Amino acid sequence: MNGAEAFIETLADCGVDTCFANPGTSEMQLVAAVDRSPRMRAVLGLFEGVVTGAADGYGRMADKPAITLLHLGPGLGNGLANLHNARRAGSPVINMVGDHATYHRHYDAPLTSDVTGVAAPMSDWVRISRSERDLAQAGAEAFSVAQSYPGKIATVIVPADHAWTEGAAKVAPLPVPPTAKTPQEAIDQAAAALRDSDGPSVLFLGGRALREDALHHAGRIAAATGCRLICETFAARNQRGAGRVAVERLPYFGEQAEAYLAEFKTLVFVGCEPPVSFFAYPGKPSWLSPPGATIVRMASMREDALAALEGLATALNAPAQPALVQKSIIVEAAPGKLNSANLGAIFAELLPEGAIVADEGATQGGAAYGMSAGSKPHDWLQLTGGSIGSGLPVAVGAAVACPDRKVIALHGDGGAMYTNQALWTMAREKLDVTTIILNNGSYAILNIELARVGAQNPGPKALAMLDLTNPAINWTKLSEGMGVPAVRVETAEEFRAALADALAHKGPRLIEAML
Amino acid sequence: MNGAEAFIETLADCGVDTCFANPGTSEMQLVAAVDRSPRMRAVLGLFEGVVTGAADGYGRMADKPAITLLHLGPGLGNGLANLHNARRAGSPVINMVGDHATYHRHYDAPLTSDVTGVAAPMSDWVRISRSERDLAQAGAEAFSVAQSYPGKIATVIVPADHAWTEGAAKVAPLPVPPTAKTPQEAIDQAAAALRDSDGPSVLFLGGRALREDALHHAGRIAAATGCRLICETFAARNQRGAGRVAVERLPYFGEQAEAYLAEFKTLVFVGCEPPVSFFAYPGKPSWLSPPGATIVRMASMREDALAALEGLATALNAPAQPALVQKSIIVEAAPGKLNSANLGAIFAELLPEGAIVADEGATQGGAAYGMSAGSKPHDWLQLTGGSIGSGLPVAVGAAVACPDRKVIALHGDGGAMYTNQALWTMAREKLDVTTIILNNGSYAILNIELARVGAQNPGPKALAMLDLTNPAINWTKLSEGMGVPAVRVETAEEFRAALADALAHKGPRLIEAML
């Protein structure tokens, strides 16, 4: 077999079964190898940001990596933003990036670029294959790295001649490194801090600490100590809803987050680091934890969150039953003109059990998040790295990973434009995704930020740069143009009917919610 | 004034008057500074690839840089592919990329990334400002670098606190480095080689050698020596059409290019390096010039092409009148079902004087190029770096640079999807761009390449990865969704009517040509 086949077969032996692809000429042998492997599904994206964002969503839901197939440095460049988000999510991803044949590089053909240089900033690990025989070995190593808890971005650069040369053979999968465990000393320190807190305490959760099993122990710890449970503002995957342990969400804006945390005397962190403001602002704090409080960084995102929380519950001799179990709640939606509040209420009421929400709702999506706390149990995926244009691709990946679950993409209009091509992949693969575009015709968050960074009295050019209404984007036409049936709604009643209809049917739909 | 204002005012003093922008929170002070400067036009793109591709098109037509405004590492990442194309075109571009405030970086907030690392692979020069006072100096340096002949990619990374801190002042523009001149020795060597050639000779042209003034001298050299004139396959800007010196285009596929050049005993290169195949293929050559031929690299892309050709003409005592002056040609278009040939003939016939063609026509666009050799004089801009998704943004930039000229984007459907957001900017700015989408529902070039790299008997998954008909993309709806009036045509008659109508009116239009 050739190098490409050995590489793909090795990854298939590792358990990888999905390839999100946007190939070019230098990747044709990899395309052919995926084609020949009955164990590998190929999903085409018409832009690389769709491909990498889909791998992120897939990784979050499948807890194993998909492969991305990308075309040299520029193709990888187009995928960087969503690799950034994936890396911040701790998602497992294997990038396979084609490059020129080794002997062709020095000719500096038009597409020649520093592929390693492009890969490095958004990868945890970069590896260039050294021969057609080495390519499969690189694949096995990439899987081992990508699968390191909770997940890493592993990039393999594949010179075309390594892919097409015969004489390669697949290699055995390598062991995945054992997950780091929190030392007992850190658990004991956290237990003492919570037990002896000189006032309100909080168990602050992120990463894998927001899975249902880990949250169960967090709820037990709350039952034992009376601590509050708060999570990072943007979580990779929060398993929430009625019957699960509920977690409060830290507000986005720094000064609100600082005020939210001000009362706490003790903060214990599991699965994340102490929060900082998303951006710096003149005269506003970056560090958000209260001065003088006891801070225990019990487990980083790379330590086993479930074991850490279970250990902490044990150290505290916590009861078996968790506190803070979420009750079922239905909020009534006000009729008439659609707004974020009645949209959120209807969304929360109709959200089906087991749904996966890919949330890049931005300024208009907050109500849907808040009101769905007591909806049927579901998974909520957020914009972990802050680079907008992630939600639609993440929805694609989640739907590929979980074909039996309804996926809902809740997306601001500004962010959705970056990777609108994801709709085409939804149509092509008949993915069971309902996309809700929150169309307010604006980069609304930036209108707020313009004032917050101290830019007073913005003039017409500045305001125009945040305005998307000239011309207004018609998402219904965009969606239909890419093969996804769409409907525009302006009232609560229309939204309810459209969402109910979309949820009652399999396959992609788009609802353009005019706000 | 604050750092951002000093930076923008310095660049305005340098003569920069256009900013293509896709800002985020960390760039709000730069947005405000552009807003306050009456000398600076702001053009919003809804995706960074539109922004950088527009700066490329602007630079090719204006011969001076526009600024791009990009949001941290991920935003810059989205712009890399078209910076790659711009760099290969030798276009002048100044990127201003926001970053976190200096004191905020170490907190590793979600959007923190290695901005310098992302910038380096596609920039000729990268500079981080060191203070609010230094920011203007960085701007002046960036202009000097960007304007270095024929143009370079200069990237300035702007920490937010440098932008917002008061106490800065603009600085005087720096001198632009003088353009390197070809040594007389190289000119004499080329003259001797052409004069004494032991068989057919060719003057091979690229970069600025394809401007009308330089081509005039190339034609004089042809008159003196009988050499042929051939240009690189993908040129940044070829000034062509009736009355101008005509240049043959090197074929794209390596073996065709090799055969095309096989007869030549002498090859003199001006404005580019000897051609190599775009990709490597098993058993096919990378180097395309004939073995044993005399090769003279007279002037690189960074040496003054006009002076070099004029000097060569003088050394050859060439006549004042050039040879190879293109005659006006009109090819008759076959009626009926639209295909690349009758589309090309109609396109060539209707092409208005002074038109600018942004060509990413790929497999279906070649006939339009060939048939328009004898059209009215026009500028033809091609995909210099091979990273598809450049043509629509280049058209945006060309239209901003040349508001009195008709711009025509001739674009394959696969490539146009990468940066479809460019249509929205055309509508917003009422740019005089007619976009022709060559809709064949396929990455057609990859179907050819799949066989060429030796992947025999491709299976359904491989073929599906090159197929864009499942679902078919409706470009008319996409275009209308972004505010550009559109029409779908299926016959030569419909295409002629639609193109004539678009050319008769100012403002953006899209013609979806079904092939």
**Alpha helices for B226-382 (secondary structure H):** 254-261, 305-315, 340-350, 362-371
Chain B closest-CA separation from residue A320 CA (Å): 35
User: Of the residues A315, A331, A359, which one is the last residue of a structural domain?
Assistant: A315
Asked if pLDDT for residue B327 goes beyond 80, the answer is yes
pLDDT in tens, B294-323: 999 999 999 999 999 999 999 999 999 999
Are residue A260 and residue A376 in the same domain, yes or no?
A: no
The pLDDT value recorded for residue B154 is: 98
B321 located within any domain? no
Residue listed under structure tokens 């600018």: B356
The pLDDT value recorded for residue A443 is: 77
pLDDT in tens, B11-36: 999 999 999 999 998 899 999 999 99
pLDDT in tens, B407-418: 999 999 999 999
Tell me whether residue B117 is exposed, middle or buried, using C-beta atoms within 10 angstroms of its C-beta: 0 to 12, 13 to 18, 19 or more: middle
Are residue B28 and residue B130 in the same domain, yes or no?
A: yes
Give the one of A32, A108, A234 whose C-beta lies nearest to B455's C-beta: A32
CA distance B341 to B306: 35
A174 located within any domain? no
pTM, rounded to two decimals: 0.98
Are residue A297 and residue A355 in the same domain, yes or no?
A: no
User: Of the residues A299, A315, A331, which one is the last residue of a structural domain?
Assistant: A315
Are residue A189 and residue A150 in the same domain, yes or no?
A: no
Identify from A113, A153, A476, A512 which residue to disrupt to test chain B contact, counting B C-beta atoms within 10 A and taking the largest count.
A113
Are residue B475 and residue B345 in the same domain, yes or no?
A: yes
Chain A residues close to B481, C-beta within 8 Å: 473-478, 481
CA distance B234 to B211: 14
Are residue A144 and residue A192 in the same domain, yes or no?
A: no
CA distance B340 to A99: 31
Q: Running DSSP on this structure, what letter comes out for residue A454?
A: T
Q: Do B276 and A450 touch (CB under 8 A)?
A: no
Measured CA distances, A338 to A358, A489, A500 (Å)? 21, 8, 16
Return the structure tokens found at B154: 């200069």
Chain B residues close to A482, C-beta within 8 Å: 471, 473-474, 478
3-state SS, residue A70: strand
A224 located within any domain? yes
Q: Which residues of B322-358 are buried (b: 16+ CB within 10 A; e: fewer)?
A: bbbbbeeeebebeeeebebbbbbbbbbbbbeeebbbb
Q: Do B474 and A465 touch (CB under 8 A)?
A: no
- The count of C-alpha atoms lying within 13 angstroms of the C-alpha of A418, restricted to the half-sphere facing its C-beta, is 31
Chain B residues close to A286, C-beta within 8 Å: 103-104, 107, 109
B238 membership: H or E segment, kind and range: strand B238-240
B173 located within any domain? no
Q: Do A470 and B428 touch (CB under 8 A)?
A: yes
CA distance A249 to A244: 15
The pLDDT value recorded for residue B456 is: 67
Residue listed under structure tokens 């390596």: B254
A416 located within any domain? yes
Average pLDDT over residues B376-397: 98
Cβ atoms of residues B213 and B207 within 8 Å: no
Rounded to the nearest 5 percent, the helix, strand and coil shares of chain B are 45, 20, 35
| Domain interval for residue B249 | 184-315
Q: Which residues of A224-241 are buried (b: 16+ CB within 10 A; e: fewer)?
A: bbebbbbbbbbbbbbbbb
Average pLDDT over residues B239-259: 96
CA distance B229 to B165: 55
User: Of the residues A118, A134, A164, which one is the last residue of a structural domain?
Assistant: A164
Give the one of B273, B418, B427 whose C-beta lies nearest to A471's C-beta: B427
CA distance B86 to A348: 47
Closest C-alpha among B33, B41, B40 to residue B3: B33
Give the one of A32, A387, A471 whose C-beta lies nearest to B462's C-beta: A32
Q: Residue B218: which CATH number?
A: 3.40.50.1220
Q: Do B28 and A445 touch (CB under 8 A)?
A: no
Are residue A461 and residue A426 in the same domain, yes or no?
A: yes
The pLDDT value recorded for residue A456 is: 67
Q: From A4, which residue of chain B is nearest by alpha-carbon distance?
A: B455
CA distance B451 to B228: 33
Q: Does residue B177 have a cis peptide bond before it, meaning omega lies within 30 degrees of 0?
A: no
B335 located within any domain? no
pLDDT grade for B93, boundaries at 50, 70 and 90? very high
Are residue B21 and residue B127 in the same domain, yes or no?
A: yes
Chain B residues close to A289, C-beta within 8 Å: none
Asked if pLDDT for residue B98 goes beyond 80, the answer is yes
Give the one of A29, A107, A449 whose C-beta lies nearest to B287's C-beta: A107
Q: How many distinct structural domains can be found in chain B?
A: 3
Are residue B198 and residue B152 in the same domain, yes or no?
A: no
| pLDDT, block means (10 residues), chain A with 515 residues | 97 98 92 94 97 98 98 97 98 98 96 98 98 98 98 98 97 97 98 97 98 98 98 98 98 95 98 96 93 98 98 98 96 95 97 98 90 98 97 98 98 96 98 96 79 75 85 97 98 98 98 96
Q: Do B35 and A461 touch (CB under 8 A)?
A: yes
The pLDDT value recorded for residue B442 is: 78
Return the structure tokens found at B12: 């305005």
Are residue B344 and residue B485 in the same domain, yes or no?
A: yes
Q: From A456, which residue of chain B is nearest by alpha-carbon distance?
A: B32
Q: Do A465 and B23 touch (CB under 8 A)?
A: yes
CA distance A192 to B274: 72
Asked if pLDDT for residue B42 goes beyond 80, the answer is yes
Q: Does residue B150 have a cis peptide bond before it, meaning omega lies within 30 degrees of 0?
A: yes
Chain A residues close to B75, C-beta within 8 Å: 81, 387
Give the one of B101, B470, B481 whose C-beta lies nearest to A473's C-beta: B481
User: What contacts B437, CB < 8 A, 6 or more positions away?
Assistant: B411, B412, B413, B416, B475, B510, B511, B512, B513
Are residue A358 and residue A505 in the same domain, yes or no?
A: yes
Cβ atoms of residues A424 and A46 within 8 Å: yes
Q: Residue B14: which CATH number?
A: 3.40.50.970
Closest C-alpha among B303, B264, B515, B375 to residue B250: B264
Q: From B47, which residue of chain A is nearest by alpha-carbon distance?
A: A418
3-state SS, residue A196: coil
Cβ atoms of residues A323 and A295 within 8 Å: no
B169 located within any domain? no
- What average pLDDT does chain B have? 96
A472 located within any domain? yes
Asked if pLDDT for residue B44 goes beyond 80, the answer is yes
Cβ atoms of residues B51 and B80 within 8 Å: no
CA distance A94 to B52: 28
Strand A238-240 and strand A378-381: the pairing is antiparallel
The pLDDT value recorded for residue B445 is: 78
Contacts across the A-B interface (CB distance below 8 Å): 321
Are residue A386 and residue A440 in the same domain, yes or no?
A: yes
CA distance A340 to A402: 28
CA distance B501 to B492: 14
Residue listed under structure tokens 């309100």: A200
Chain B residues close to A455, C-beta within 8 Å: 28-29, 31-32
Cβ atoms of residues A292 and A261 within 8 Å: no
